[in-house]
Amino acid sequence: MIEITSKTIDTNAVLRSVTSPTCGAAVLFVGTTRQFTQTRETMQLAYECYQPMAIEKMKELRDAAFDRWEIENCSIVHRIGVVEVESASVAVAVSSPHRVASFEAANWIMDQLKKVVPIWKQEHWADGETQWVHPQSDAAQPNRISPEVNP
């Protein structure tokens, strides 16, 4: 399952998508909107993406994980649109015969997803300000009007 959705992520469905009778491990990572980023209060996040490229990059990450680890299944789901505090913005699930491969693959996928998948995050702060976060550096980009897409 590789998906970008504007709906609430069904984390149980993501986990079910990777379970298998031949696997002794299934790892589910769920990234949620946190209330505070350092000392600033976050009201919500807003995500945008270039969907065709984002899906392609997510598939490439999944395929690379299959090449690097002995895993059986892998699902990646990312939400776009407004994501409230405590709600899931991303879910990565990996299954394997043994737990180490699942943990390592899920961690690597999440790290790489933030670097290479063209999904942009906009922080909406409690003081009314907004701030874009660049997908490759995860560093805040103040005063950006819209995300830039590099073909």
Average pLDDT on 10-15 reads 98
pLDDT digits (tens, 9 = 90+) for 69-82: 999 999 999 999 99
- Residue 92 confidence class, pLDDT cut points 50, 70, 90: very high
Q: Is the pLDDT of residue 150 over 80?
A: no
Cβ proximity of 29 and 94 under 8 Å = no
Please list, residue by residue across 90-114, b when 16 or more beta carbons sit within 10 angstroms of its beta carbon and e when fewer do.
bbbbbbbeeeebbbbbbebbeebbb
Residue 142 confidence (pLDDT): 40
Positive or negative, the CA dihedral 20, 23, 5, 66 is negative
Residue 133 confidence (pLDDT): 83
What 3 state SS string does 87-150 have? CEEEEEEEEECCHHHHHHHHHHHHHHHHHHCCEEEEEEECCCCEEEECCCCCCEEECCCCCCCC
Task: Residue 151: name the closest of 53, 47, 57 by CA.
Answer: 53
Q: Is the pLDDT of residue 84 over 90?
A: yes
- 26 strand-pairing partners: 95
Residue 14 confidence (pLDDT): 98
pLDDT digits (tens, 9 = 90+) for 112-144: 999 999 999 999 999 999 999 865 554 443 433
Residue 135 confidence (pLDDT): 59
Greatest distance between any 2 Cα atoms in the chain = 50
Percent of the chain clearing pLDDT 70 (strictly above): 88
pLDDT digits (tens, 9 = 90+) for 21-62: 999 999 999 999 999 988 999 999 999 999 999 999 999 999
